[in-house]
Amino acid sequence: MKKVIISMLFVMVMSVASFALAQDAAPAAAQDAAPAAAAQDAAPAETAEVAAPANNTYKQFAPIGCGLIIFGAGFGIGKIGGSAVESMARQPEAAGAIQTAMILAAALVEGATLFALVICMIM
């Protein structure tokens, strides 16, 4: 149980930390406004290059998010499967109901995982 709580705290801290990195591009553009205005005649493409990286702020964190999502889903489905097999070993007469519940729970975890992966890849 402690591992689950620590994992959940880690995920919450990482999700809060990602918002701390999301800064508006306006302060950086305001600082570079004077030199860019002077050099506008020489190279007008420089100002467009300065603003471009701000649009891809979250793209660098997508692999980390996908890894955490897959890790969590694998841990959850492994826990579901292990508990189901243990329950079937203890009560073989209830194996059908346990297997149905296990498949339903695993499908719900997979659906949430797929949704989280799509959101992570969009961001």
What does the pLDDT look like over 64-109, one tens digit per residue? Answer: 888 899 999 999 999 999 999 999 999 999 999 999 999 999 999 9
Q: How far apart (Å, rounded) are the C-alpha atoms in residues 70 and 90?
A: 30
Q: Is residue 72 one of the residues assigned to a domain?
A: yes
Domain count within the chain? 1
Write out the two tokens for 95. 């194996």
Q: Phi, psi at residue 78, to the nearest 5°?
A: -65, -40
Q: How far apart (Å, rounded) are the C-alpha atoms in residues 117 and 123?
A: 10
* pLDDT grade for 16, boundaries at 50, 70 and 90: low
Q: Is residue 114 one of the residues assigned to a domain?
A: yes
Q: Is residue 48 one of the residues assigned to a domain?
A: no
Cβ 102 vs Cβ 80: under 8 Å: yes
| pTM, rounded to two decimals | 0.52
Q: Identify the CATH number of the domain in which residue 78 sits.
A: 1.20.20.10
Look at residue 46 and tell me whether its pLDDT is greater than 80.
no
Cβ 7 vs Cβ 72: under 8 Å: yes
Range of the domain at 91: 58-122
